[in-house]
Amino acid sequence: MTTKISRASAPNPHPRQGWRGDGLSLIAGLLLPFAFAPYGFFPLAILAPALLFYSWEQCSALRAGWRGWLFGIGLFGGGAFWISVSFTFSAVDPLVASLLTAGFVAVMALYPALLGWLLGTLSSTLSRPFRLLVFWPAAWVLVEWLRGYLFSGFSWLQLGYSQIDTPLAGWAPLVGIFGLGWLLAFTAGVLLLCLGRRPPILPLLLVVLIWGAGAGLQRVSWTEISGPELPVALIQGNIPQEQKWLPQMRVPILQRYISTSRANSDARLIIWPETALPGFAHRYTDLLAGLGAEMRAQDTEILLGLPVWQRESRHNLNAATVLGGGTDFYYKRHLVPFGEFLPMADLLRPILRYLGAPLPDFSPGPDQPPLLAVAGIQAAVLICYEVAFARDVLSALPAAAFLVNISNDAWFGNSIGPHQHLEMARMRALETGRYLLRSTNTGISAVVSPSGKVLARAPQFEFHVLRASVTPMGGATPYVRFGNTPILLAALCLLLLAVWQRSRVVQEG
């Protein structure tokens, strides 16, 4: 006898089962980039992790890893597609650029895949509230840190950056970018628990307290003024990337920067962008010496980015120096993977040669570089990529009185990349309680306050001189004093607790 079940009476599949849960993970990843600049829909930084956590519940470790990978495809495919623009500026065939970008996205997606597999493996013996409120947020932080560290790191789209303009930003001077990510993941766990029949009152009150305290902490000044105001001029040269290194453009580029500097010599400090000099420094020794003497006579200094070739070591370096002041150089130490150096070179060099992609040939500077003295004040210089990593800033503090970020975001074209880059630079100012001066080639040049607010901003893709006055700051925020160590140690202890709990249950079973 055969029993027929009508479609109307058949049970509806659970939204987390099969392809529905997979699709939910991908949608969560696609949503998350909209929490960051230039969009700024910050609640998505809570909703997207909550959807991902929901898809991870009641599935195997292997399935959780797969769903984490799909989440990563959505996150990095939607939020870091601008990398393909950088490849095309390197004269890479568009098809090859697309393949390289797809490969990059697929590799970056392995980090949330690792997170999903790890949580699926270790969470089976934990209660649901402990999983969502304690273990999963801690594991999220550790994997974000790992992504920002391995192979020089890629820190774009770390969860905390989305909160630079929210009440939660008040916590940044205490817990830094990873602490913000932890608080967001915890909030996402509470949101998921609140969807049940009995909303957890205590965790919900804790979320209200966290966000309310963040608003209050924004009124706290962690650092203090340490000197008189400094008039500055940031020159946004707006040299198109395809013209920047053409031999016939060298004279027009130099004329633009030099004439503009002379017209703004009433500023105490003038800043040119990264590699503003259109050639290696040794070819312009006399010009730089003469310009430095001219600026010194007017009590003005120019901080500029320039490429340097070291004859003794035969190394190319991305550098910054000050004309009209001291003779020190700052050499970029945190290089861009594939753009300035090649990770896993022995494996990847033959592949890139086969694809016709250019091979990077820059070398990193020393791990402990000197601070540059500008206008008699110690400054922490960060070249391009370095401002995306808090650890590159912390080593210069509290000695540095303000931060200088020079960059050439023309590599990103008219994409969301420059907006994300500025958002990360703003977080460095907030974490450290320092003014940040950001001079870029095509934008976005800006002056940022110690609270992370943009005080002045140049229009993108326009030649512009940004004038402002900034104040040197002294002292140290709690984050500058203790760094990431407390957050990472706490997260690691919770991970080890979950491992111990699982091993104990296995032994008893």
Answer for the pair 429, 400: CB distance below 8 angstroms, yes or no: no
Task: List the chain pLDDT tens, one digit each, 509 residues.
Answer: 444 444 444 444 455 567 788 999 999 999 999 999 999 999 999 999 999 999 999 889 999 999 999 999 999 999 999 888 877 766 677 888 888 889 999 999 999 999 999 999 988 788 888 999 999 999 999 999 999 998 888 999 999 999 999 999 999 999 999 999 999 999 999 999 988 767 788 889 999 999 999 999 999 999 999 999 999 999 999 999 888 889 999 999 999 999 999 999 999 999 999 999 998 988 999 999 999 999 999 999 999 999 998 877 778 899 999 998 777 899 998 777 766 655 665 566 666 666 555 555 677 878 888 889 998 899 999 999 899 999 989 989 999 999 999 999 988 889 999 999 999 999 999 999 999 999 999 989 999 999 999 999 999 999 999 999 999 999 999 999 999 999 999 999 998 988 888 777 767 66
Question: Dihedrals φ, ψ of 241, to 5°?
Answer: -60, -35
| Contacts for 483 with CB less than 8 Å, ≥ 6 apart | 176, 390, 391, 394
CA atoms within 13 A on the CB side of 81: 12
Q: Following CA atoms 75, 76, 82, 88 in sequence, which dihedral angle do they give, to the nearest 10 degrees?
A: -150
C-alpha closest to that of 381 among 412, 409, 407, 418 = 407
| Residue environment code for 162-184, b if the CB has 16+ CB neighbours within 10 A, otherwise e | bbbebbbbbbbbbbbbbbbbbbb
Output the CA angle 341-420-101, nearest 5 degrees: 50
Tell me the pTM.
0.91
Question: Dihedrals φ, ψ of 318, to 5°?
Answer: -95, 120
The type of residue at 91 is A
Helix, strand, coil percentages for the chain (3-state, nearest 5): 50, 15, 35
- Which two structure tokens, joined as six digits, stand for 266? 């009433």
CA dihedral (413, 417, 420, 425) positive or negative? negative
> What whole-number distance in Å separates Cα of residue 506 and Cα of residue 493?
20
What are the helix and strand counts (H, E) for the chain? 17, 14
Residue 442 burial (CB count, 10 A)? 27
Strands 473-474 and 224-225 come out as: antiparallel
Strands 372-374 and 454-457 come out as: unpaired
According to the model, what pLDDT value does residue 443 have?
A: 86
Output the CA angle 428-434-438, nearest 5 degrees: 65
C-alpha closest to that of 66 among 99, 101, 134, 19 = 19
- Which two structure tokens, joined as six digits, stand for 156? 């774009």
C-alpha closest to that of 191 among 56, 68, 71, 51 = 51
| Contacts for 166 with CB less than 8 Å, ≥ 6 apart | 42, 214
Q: In what order do the strands lie in the sheet with 464-470?
A: 329-331, 315-323, 301-310, 269-271, 230-236, 464-470
> What whole-number distance in Å separates Cα of residue 119 and Cα of residue 109?
16
Residues forming a β-bridge with 84: none
> What whole-number distance in Å separates Cα of residue 148 and Cα of residue 387?
12
Q: Annotated active-site positions, please?
A: 274, 332, 384
What does the domain layout of the chain look like in residue ranges? 18-221+484-508, 224-476
C-alpha closest to that of 239 among 483, 462, 495, 469 = 462
Residues forming a β-bridge with 403: 380, 436
CATH class as words, domain 224-476:
alpha beta
| Contacts for 249 with CB less than 8 Å, ≥ 6 apart | 239, 243, 278
Helix, strand, or coil (residue 241): coil
| Contacts for 333 with CB less than 8 Å, ≥ 6 apart | 364, 365, 366, 367, 369, 386, 392
Answer for the pair 250, 483: CB distance below 8 angstroms, yes or no: no
